[in-house]
A and B are shown apart, each in its own frame.
Chain A
Amino acid sequence: MSTATRRERGAASSASLRHRMAERGVDRKLLMLLPAILFALVLFVYPFTYGIGLTFQPLQGTVDKWGGGIFANYVAFFGDSFIFDSIWITMRLALPAALFNVIVSVPIAFKLRRKFRGKRFLSTMLVLPITLGTVLTAQGLLIFAGRQGWLNRFLIQSGIISDPLQLVNNYLGVTFTLVISGFPFAYLLISSYLSGIDPSLDAAAKTLGANWKQRFMRVTLPLLAPGLATTFILTFVLAFSVFPSARLVGDPLGTTRVMALMAYRSFAEQIDYSMASTIAVMMGVIELIVIAIVLLGRSFLYKGSTGGKG
C-alpha cells in the first residue's frame, strides 16, 4: 500500500492505469463478487428496506388508537404492554438458554479434547440434534415428555412419581428445545476454539506450579473468552428468534409469548403487515443491542494468536 502511494506521488508512474488499479485491489476479479451482491440486494436489502418502509405506514386503526402519525406502530409497540412485555418473555427464554449452552459446552469440549475410546461416537451423538428441524424436535418432545409421554408413563409405572410431570406446553418445554437445537452449535464452536489453544501452554502452566483451577482461570479461560462471546452471540440469536417450538411445546399465550409469535399474530391473525414488520424490526434492534454489549465486553479481551493449530 505505502509503496504504491509513494510511487504515485513521485514522478508520473510508468505503469498503466489498469496496473495501478490492480495494485490497489481493483481488477476484473472483482466481477466474481457480482452474483453475491445481486443476491444480497434482491433477497436481503430490498425486502429489508421495504419492511422498514412498511413500519411507517400504520393502519388507520393504529393511528386512531395510539396517535403518533407515521410512528404510530412504534408508539403502539412501546405503549401496548401486551406487545412490549414479549421482549422480556423472549429474553427470559433466550438468555438463560444461550448461557446454559455456552457454559455446559465448555467442560464437555474440554473433556472431549483428549483422545479416548468412543470419542467419535460421543461427539456424533452430541452434534446429531443439529440435523433435526425445530418442528421435529418439538414433536418428539411432545411425544417423549408430554403428560401421556414415555417418560411420564415410565416414571409413574415405576412408582417414582404419582402425578405426571409438566414438562411441555410451558416455559420448560421451550427451554428444552432451545438447548437441544442450540447446544450442538455451541459445542462445535467451542471445541474448535479450544483446539486452537496450544496444549503446551497448559503443560507450561503445570510445570510453573499452577493447579488445574489456576490453569483454567489464568490461561485457558482468558484465551477462550473471545470465542465464548462469539458462541454466546450465535446461540442467543438462534434462541431469540424461537418460533415453532414456542407455539408447539410452549405456552403461546403465557410464558412463551415470544416476539416472533407476536409478529406472526399481527401478520396472520390481524392482517396488520405494518405492525408485524415493526415487531420484526424491533426484534432485530434488540438482538443488535445485546450483540453490541457482548462485543463491547469482548473488545477488552486478548484476541491475538493462541498458539495452536487454529
Chain B
Amino acid sequence: MSLSAGTFESLELKDVGRSFGGREALAELNLTIRAGEFIALLGPSGCGKSTALNCLAGLLPLTHGEITIDGKRIDVLPSEKRDFGMVFQNYALFPHLSVERNVAFGLQVRNLPKSEVHRRVAEAISLVKLEEHAKKLPGQLSGGQQQRVAIARAVVLEPRVVLMDEPLSNLDAKLRLEMRTEIRRLHQSLGLTTVYVTHDQEEALSLADRLVVLRAGRVQQIGTPEELHNNPANWHVADFMGYRNLLDLEVVGVDGPQVRVAGGGLELTGTAAQPASVGDKVRVAIRPHDLFVVEGAGRPPGSNVFTAVVTVVEYQGREFAVEVTTASGARLFVHAATAPPIGSEVTLTLDPKRALVYRFVLDSPDSTDTGSIEESRLAEVHA
C-alpha cells in the first residue's frame, strides 16, 4: 500500500467564525488537530458543524479568525490549493465520468504523468473494493458504492486532511454500519487526518479520537469519546450523549460534590457536574442504562429509590426499553432485562454518581465564555 497521507504536524483553528448576513453561524472555534487524528464535529442540524467544515475546505470564506497548518496560514488559500480531500453528503460524483475517471479527476487536473495516475487510481479503487465497477458510471452504482467512490476520489490525492460531511446519512442502517467500519479501517491503515461532521452521536463516538460538540455555532465541549460520554460539560451535551432522562428540579441541599435535588414529588441525590447552590434551578441528566429496575419485593437501601408505573415497553433484542411514569407525572426511560407488565408498579434505583446535575440555563450564545469550554472546564468536571 503506497497511498499515504500528506504530512504535517498540526492544523490549528484560531477563533474561527462565520456569519451570514449578520447572523453568526459559527463563532470562536478554537481547535488544534494533530496529524492522524480523527475529529468528529457533532451537533444538531443548524449548529454550525457543516459551516465549520466548509470553512476548512475553503468553500466558505471566514469572517473571523484564521486557520494554520504548522504555523502557515491556509484560510487565505482558495479551496483548490489547500490540498484537502472532501467527501460530500450527496457524494457529488461527476455523473458523466466513470468510476475510474472520477477517481482520476484530481490527479489529472494536477497534470501528473499517465502511468502514475493509472497506478494510484487502481490502488485507490482496490482500497475501497470497487475493482469490478471501475468502468461503470456513478448512476449505475448503489448508494454505498457511490460513497466508496467519493472516498477513493478524496484519498487518492493523499490529502493532508480529509473532510467528511455526514457521509453516511443517505445510507440505510445496515450499510451505514458497514461503511462506518470501512471509514475507520481506512483511517487506521492510511493514517489520514480526518474531520468528520455528523449529527449521530453513536457514529461520532465509534469513529472519532476526539469529539467537538457544537450548539448554535458555539463549541460546547471538546474531548475524547470517553470524556464526553461519562462527563458531559452541560446538559445539552449530555442530551446528545444519550442521557435521555432530563429532569428539571431544584437544589435543596449541597454536600461537597453531592447535591440533593427535588421537585414535583421526586427527590434524589446526584453529582454536581457544574457548580450548584441551594435554590438553583437545575437539570438532572440520567442515562436509561443507569436506572435499575429492582427485581423482587422489598425496598433496597440507598437514597435514590423511587417507584413508578410502567407505561410503554419496547423489545430491543437483548433488552427492553421501558417508559415509566412517576407519581408526579415525570416520564423516565429505563432499560430492563425482563419486560415488566404494563401498568405495574416498579421500584427504581440510581447510583448518585450517575445522576449528573447541570445548571438549567445554558450559556447564552452571545456570552463570551462558552467558546472556551475546553480542557479547563473538563478538568473541573473531573475533580
B19 interfacial by beta-carbon distance below 8 Å: no
Q: Which residues of B contact A219 (CB under 8 A)?
A: 94
Q: Are B88 and A206 in contact (CB-based, < 8 A)?
A: no
Q: In whole angstroms, what is the CA distance A198 to B139 when docked?
A: 14
Interface-forming stretch among A2-10, A30-38, A182-190, A300-308? Answer: A300-308
Partner of B92, one of A203, A210, A218: A203
Question: How far, in Å, is A18 (CB) from chain B's closest CB?
Answer: 38
Q: Are B59 and A201 in contact (CB-based, < 8 A)?
A: no
B350 interfacial by beta-carbon distance below 8 Å: no
Q: In whole angstroms, what is the CA distance A211 to B84 when docked?
A: 14
Q: Which residues of B contact A208 (CB under 8 A)?
A: 80, 85, 105-106, 109, 153-154, 157
Interchain Cβ contacts under 8 Å between A and B, 26 examples: A198-B90, A203-B86, A203-B88, A204-B86, A204-B92, A204-B93, A204-B94, A205-B94, A206-B58, A206-B78, A206-B79, A207-B79, A207-B84, A207-B86, A207-B154, A208-B85, A208-B109, A209-B109, A209-B110, A210-B80, A210-B109, A218-B105, A223-B95, A305-B95, A306-B95, A307-B90
Q: Are B90 and A206 in contact (CB-based, < 8 A)?
A: no
Where chain A touches its partner, the secondary structure class is: helix
Q: Which residues of B contact A198 (CB under 8 A)?
A: 90, 92
Q: Which residues of B contact A204 (CB under 8 A)?
A: 86, 88, 92-94, 153
> Which of A204, A206, A218 lies at the interface centre, i.e. has the most chain B CB atoms within 10 A of its CB?
A204
Give chain B interface residues in 48-69, CB to chain A under 8 Å.
Answer: 57-59
Q: Which residues of A contact B266 (CB under 8 A)?
A: none
Q: Which residues of B contact A302 (CB under 8 A)?
A: 95-96
Question: How far, in Å, is A219 (CB) from chain B's closest CB?
Answer: 6
Partner of A211, one of B80, B86, B163: B80
A222 interfacial by beta-carbon distance below 8 Å: yes
Give chain B interface residues in 80-139, CB to chain A under 8 Å.
Answer: 80-86, 88, 90, 92-96, 105-106, 109-110, 137, 139
> Which of B80, B157, B163 lies at the interface centre, i.e. has the most chain A CB atoms within 10 A of its CB?
B80
Q: Are B59 and A305 in contact (CB-based, < 8 A)?
A: no
Q: Which residues of B contact A200 (CB under 8 A)?
A: 88, 90, 92
Question: How far, in Å, is B163 (CB) from chain A's closest CB?
Answer: 8
Q: In whole angstroms, what is the CA distance A302 to B137 when docked?
A: 10
Q: Are B90 and A205 in contact (CB-based, < 8 A)?
A: no
Q: Are A209 and B157 in contact (CB-based, < 8 A)?
A: yes
Q: Which residues of A contact B157 (CB under 8 A)?
A: 208-209
Question: Chain B interface residue count: which class?
Answer: 20 to 34
The 9 closest A-B pairs by CB, nearest first: A302-B96, A208-B106, A204-B92, A207-B86, A200-B92, A206-B79, A210-B109, A209-B80, A214-B109
- Nearest B residue to A226 via CB reads B96
**Beta-carbon contacts of A211-232 to B below 8 Å, as 1s and 0s?**
1001000110011000000000
With A206-B59, A206-B80, A207-B59 known as contacts, the answer to whether A304 contacts B109 (CB < 8 A) is: no
Q: Which residues of B contact A214 (CB under 8 A)?
A: 109
- Nearest B residue to A211 via CB reads B80
Q: Are B95 and A304 in contact (CB-based, < 8 A)?
A: yes
Partner of B83, one of A209, A210, A218: A209
Question: How far, in Å, is A28 (CB) from chain B's closest CB?
Answer: 37
The count of residues in chain A whose C-beta lies closer than 8 Å to any C-beta of chain B is 22
Q: Are A201 and B105 in contact (CB-based, < 8 A)?
A: no
Given contacts A208-B109, A208-B157, A209-B83, 18 further A-B contacts (CB under 8 A): A204-B88, A204-B94, A206-B79, A207-B58, A207-B80, A207-B85, A207-B163, A208-B105, A208-B106, A208-B154, A209-B106, A210-B105, A214-B109, A218-B109, A219-B94, A304-B95, A304-B96, A307-B90
Q: Which residues of A contact B96 (CB under 8 A)?
A: 222-223, 302, 304
Q: Which residues of A contact B154 (CB under 8 A)?
A: 207-208
With A211-B80, A304-B139, A307-B90 known as contacts, the answer to whether A205 contacts B95 (CB < 8 A) is: no
Question: How far, in Å, is B1 (CB) from chain A's closest CB?
Answer: 21
Q: Which residues of A contact B83 (CB under 8 A)?
A: 209
Q: Which residues of B contact A205 (CB under 8 A)?
A: 94, 105, 109
Question: How far, in Å, is A22 (CB) from chain B's closest CB?
Answer: 32
Give chain A interface residues in 260-310, CB to chain B under 8 Å.
Answer: 302, 304-307
Give chain B interface residues in 129-163, CB to chain A under 8 Å.
Answer: 137, 139, 153-154, 157, 163
Q: In whole angstroms, what is the CA distance A208 to B154 when docked?
A: 7
Question: How far, in Å, is B168 (CB) from chain A's closest CB?
Answer: 17
Q: In whole angstroms, what is the CA distance A203 to B110 when docked?
A: 17
Q: Which residues of A contact B82 (CB under 8 A)?
A: 207
Question: How far, in Å, is A202 (CB) from chain B's closest CB?
Answer: 9
With A200-B88, A218-B109 known as contacts, the answer to whether A307 contacts B80 (CB < 8 A) is: no
Give chain B interface residues in 315-351, CB to chain A under 8 Å.
Answer: none
Q: In whole angstroms, what is the CA distance A206 to B93 when docked?
A: 13
Q: Which residues of A contact B137 (CB under 8 A)?
A: 304
Q: Which residues of B contact A203 (CB under 8 A)?
A: 57, 59, 79, 86, 88, 92
Q: Which residues of A contact B88 (CB under 8 A)?
A: 200, 203-204
Q: In whole angstroms, what is the CA distance A156 to B84 when docked?
A: 59
Q: Which residues of B contact A218 (CB under 8 A)?
A: 94, 105, 109
Q: Which residues of A contact B110 (CB under 8 A)?
A: 209
Q: In whole angstroms, what is the CA distance A302 to B138 when docked?
A: 12
Q: In whole angstroms, what is the CA distance A211 to B105 when docked?
A: 12
Q: In whole angstroms, what is the CA distance A206 to B88 when docked?
A: 12
Q: Are B94 and A201 in contact (CB-based, < 8 A)?
A: yes
- Nearest A residue to B96 via CB reads A302
Q: In whole angstroms, what is the CA distance A58 to B362 when docked?
A: 92
Q: In whole angstroms, what is the CA distance A222 to B153 when docked?
A: 19
Q: In whole angstroms, what is the CA distance A307 to B88 when docked?
A: 13
Q: In whole angstroms, what is the CA distance A214 to B92 when docked?
A: 17
- Nearest B residue to A204 via CB reads B92
Q: Which residues of B contact A223 (CB under 8 A)?
A: 95-96
Q: Which residues of A contact B106 (CB under 8 A)?
A: 208-210
